[in-house]
Homo-oligomer: A and B are copies of this chain.
C-alpha cells in the first residue's frame, strides 16, 4: 500500500484519521471493530464533491426545466418554468437567498419542477440523461466536466477505508438516482450502497410485456437530510455507522447517530475555508461547526489539511 492518505498534509487531522483506522482494525486494540460493523457514511454535496455556486444536480434539473419550457409553451406561465424560460436570474437568486436563510419554499418549487420534468420516464432513461450531463456539461469556473469536481482527498479517504475493511456508503440529501449514474466510477461506491432522496417508482409493463420502472413526480418522505438521514441509513444499512462525514447542518443528525455507536467512532466535518482552490463559506454549517467543537467532531480544513482539492 502506498503512503496512507497521500493527498492529505501531515496535520493532526490526517493523523487522527490514520490513528482511528489503525485502532479499529487492530485485533489487539480495545477499540477493535469487526469488519461487519465497519460502516462509514458519507454525505455527498459539499463533502465528496463541490456544491457551489449551486448543487450540481440543480444545474442538471434547470437544464431539464429549460428544455421542457422550450418544448411546452403551456408551462411557461408558472414557476419554475417561467423563470428559467425567461432567464429571470432575480427569481432564481431569490430562491437561493431564501433557502440559505431557512425558507425552502422556492427551492421546493424548483425541485417539484425537476420531478415533473422527469416524471413518467424510466429510471434507466433518467440515469442516462444524468450521466450524459455529468460527463459533458462543464463547470463555469473550473472548466471541467462536473463529474471531475470530486474532492480527491475525500475520494482517497473512501478508498483508504475500503482497503481497511470498511463498507463506505454514500448518503445524499440530493437525488439518489442522479448519483447512481456515477457513484461507481467516481467514488468506487456500489450503486446499492448509494442512498439518498428519491421520487417514488411505479411498476409498468411495456407493449412487449417487459417490466419497467417509471419515475413518478412524488418525492418520497422523508428526504435524506437532517433528521431524515439516520432513518435512510438504518433502512438501507441496518447497522449503525461507526464513522460519518458531512459538511453542513443537514449532516448533524447523521454525525450524532454515528457518535451514538458504542465504542470508538469518528465524525468528520469538511470545512469550506479555501476560497483560492474552492470556496469559502460557513453559511448553512454554523450549527454543525459549533457542535463539532462541543462534540469532538474532527473539522477538516480544505485549506490546511489537503494538498489538493480537485
| Interface window among A7-15, A64-72, A82-90, A206-214 | A206-214
Residue of B nearest to A167 (CB): B192
Given contacts A192-B239, A201-B230, A211-B253, 7 further A-B contacts (CB under 8 A): A201-B235, A203-B228, A203-B230, A211-B257, A211-B259, A213-B230, A213-B234
From residue A209, how far is it (CB to closest CB) to chain B in Å?
A: 8
- Distance of A203 Cα from B250 Cα, bound (Å): 13
Residues of B within 8 A of A209 (CB): 256
Whether A211 and B180, one on each chain, are in contact in the complex, defined by CB atoms closer than 8 angstroms, is no
- In the assembled complex, A236 has its CB within 8 A of some CB on chain B: yes
Residues of B within 8 A of A123 (CB): 234
Chain A contacts with B in 221-259, Cβ cutoff 8 A:
221-222, 227-228, 230-231, 234-239, 253, 256-257, 259
From residue A50, how far is it (CB to closest CB) to chain B in Å?
A: 24
Whether A260 and B203, one on each chain, are in contact in the complex, defined by CB atoms closer than 8 angstroms, is no
Residues of B within 8 A of A213 (CB): 230-231, 234
From residue A178, how far is it (CB to closest CB) to chain B in Å?
A: 12
Interface residue from B192, B259, B260 paired with A236 (Cβ < 8 Å): B192
